[in-house]
Structure 1
Amino acid sequence: MGNPSVPQGAVAVPRWRRLPWRTIACLVPALAVGVWAAGHRTLLVSGGHDLLSADRFWLLGALAATGLGWVAIACARQGTVLEPLPTGRLLATQFAATAANQLTPAGIGAGAVNLRFLRGCGLPLARTSAALALYALAESVGRVTLLLVLLTVFPHALRLNGLLPGGDTLLFLGAVLAAGLLPAALVLVSLRRVRAFIRDFLLTALTDVRSLHMRPSRALALWGGSLAFPALQAVSLVAVTNALGLPVPAAHVAIAYLAATCLAAGIPAPGGVGSVDAALAIALVAAGAPTAAATSAVLAYRIVTVWLPLLPAALTLGALVRRKVV
């Protein structure tokens, strides 16, 4: 006897296949953000109290720098491929990747979102992988380059005596630079282990890199965006410290941000929560901020640049999934 609810001759479809999986997938980012916020409610409340007494003008500046950071990322992503990408969807994807990045370690979420976006734009897997690897390399090089330039101009910005055993500045800076380039190194090491894919990937990547750098617009977008993004994030932290009245020069705050993010790059914490926060607080203290003020600044910076945009970014990600953009 067959199922009486199925017409004669029709193939019965399992019930689990009839579930609205795409709709469920759209709701997952928002639900994940809710769970994450519930687990960090103490930090959110503490940072919110600090923001209530902060200078609103500087906070608006921090928000503006954060928004421009997504534009910089979009420019850098465009610079990794020869084909013109749809501007609106590219920018929306980078904003949505903010939510994915906070829920997965070591930037895996943002990479997965951009992988699906580029594949949806018609790029083959080898070229998409090459674009992601090139972005990781360029972003790491841009961040370390900015740090080296600022340290050359302000060599005594970080006061490490008392924070490190013996105040070994050279050892600290070596660790910072090594960690800052670690994402690019991990990409190269992992590729060496994929024996069946490595030859086609390298040929594609080298061809694309050569072609991209023969087009000034693509090279400018790649390296300009890769330098602009960490610079804008540093500007956002400078604005937050000014809003809270921290007695630290702007250049020293920028160096503290770049050093902290480079040092925490190799720690696979979701969204850098914990690793970046701790490194940033230590770096701000090394730059001359009181410990309590540095902690408040890190919390406020997190709220402005990550936690405040998190729910809109999650909703954007759900919309992009529903429209099959990613």
Structure 2
Amino acid sequence: MVPLLLVTVVAVRHHGVLADGFSRLRAAEWPWLLAAAGATCLTWVAAAFTRQGAVVERLPRRRLLAAQFAAGAANHLLPTGLGASAVNLRFMTVCGIPLARSSAALALYLLAESVTRLALLAGLLLAFPGALRLGPLLPHDAMGPLLYAAGAVVVAAAAVLAGVRRLRRAVASFLRTALGELRSVHARPSRALALWGGALAFPALQAAGLALVGRALELPVPAVHTAVAYLAATVAVALVPTPGGVGSVEAALVLALVAAGGPAAVATAVVVAYRVITVWLPLLPGALTLGALVRMKVI
């Protein structure tokens, strides 16, 4: 019942976004919206492939796919991906994988997803250098403070590791386990293909979903430019600790679509409709699936 209660709270807090999104959907071209919904469903399949590729043991396929659907709902109720990580960590431990190796597999999944997302964004920017115009959105003197802040975080983390011996040992032990898991997975071509192929397909399908919604609402931005805008926006908000990125993702996507050349009003409509399809429509069935998997002791 807790996931259902949280869904209700989140829906009440964002009822204006929901109402606006559903009103936008009524005026859209439905074939393109159905294609966007199909791309959203395929993201759960891609996530299941990536999770399987991160471990050597064979995981039960149907339960793995159901866990990804439930993890999506949990991810929108807890900050910064903690919900999906907790669901998948519990799922792997229930499947008999030790906690240390499950944690290493989770880290490997996050690494693969981050690397492929950044690589896909870099590749598209190299192929289409004019896809995103950040000049009007990013102040000229903003890059320096951002780099200094990132450097300060790295230095602070290194200082903490150097000063706390117990933490240093725990990190070293985790890294050894993670490297061992990395070697074991890449010793099996099928696992490596599932890991990196699923990690690449996941952001590609998400970007395709936004492009399809843009086509449904007649956004005057090429599909590739829309994909670049999506990838850039999601990379930018990756560290914002909001549940499911609600609020921060919408703002970043609107700014990115405007930077790609879209009118602000149409870009807002596209983003709201896209978030209804990818977040709000699956949220209640995902929460029900999460509760069922907990009761069945799958997680």
On whether the aligned pair clears a TM of 0.5, the verdict is: yes
1:215 paired with 2:188, answer yes
- Structure 1 partner of 2:213: 240
1:127 paired with 2:101, answer yes
Q: Displacement, 1:163? A: 2.1
Worse-matched range after superposition: 253-262 or 33-42: 33-42
Q: Which runs of 5+ in 1 are unaligned?
A: 1-26
Deviations 1:76-101 (A, max 9, x none): 00011000000000000000011110
Higher gyration radius (CA): 1
Query: In structure 2, what is the Cα distance between the partners aligned to 1:204 and 1:167?
Result: 42
Distance change (3 Å), C-alpha of 1:213 and 1:290 = same
> Residue type of the partner of 2:225?
H
- Structure 1 partner of 2:270: 297
Query: In structure 1, what is the Cα distance between the partners aligned to 2:139 and 2:109?
Result: 36
Percent sequence identity is 61
1:50 paired with 2:36, answer no
Q: Displacement, 1:312? A: 0.4
- Structure 2 partner of 1:7: none
1:73 paired with 2:47, answer yes
1:147 paired with 2:115, answer no
Q: Displacement, 1:167? A: 9.8
Query: In structure 1, what is the Cα distance between the partners aligned to 2:141 and 2:25?
Result: 33
Query: In structure 2, what is the Cα distance between the partners aligned to 1:75 and 1:134?
Result: 13
> Aligned residues, how many?
287
> Residue type of the partner of 2:267?
A
Q: Displacement, 1:196? A: 4.6
Q: Displacement, 1:151? A: 0.2
> Residue type of the partner of 2:101?
R
Q: Displacement, 1:202? A: 2.0
1:34 paired with 2:13, answer no
> Residue type of the partner of 2:202?
F
Correspondences of 1:195-210 after superposition (within 5 Å): 195-210=168-183
**Secondary structure class of the residue paired with 1:269:** coil
**Secondary structure class of the residue paired with 1:165:** coil
Aligned match for 2:241, one of 259, 268, 271 = 268
Q: Which runs of 5+ in 2 are unaligned?
A: none
What value does the CA root-mean-square deviation take over the aligned residues?
Answer: 2.1
- Structure 2 partner of 1:156: 130
Deviant stretches of 4+, over 4 Å: none
Q: Displacement, 1:102? A: 0.5
- Structure 2 partner of 1:287: 260
Query: In structure 2, what is the Cα distance between the partners aligned to 1:220 and 1:137?
Result: 15
Deviations 1:215-263 (A, max 9, x none): 1000000000110000000000000000001000000000000000000
> Residue type of the partner of 1:132?
L
Query: In structure 2, what is the Cα distance between the partners aligned to 1:295 and 1:274?
Result: 12
Q: Displacement, 1:166? A: 4.3
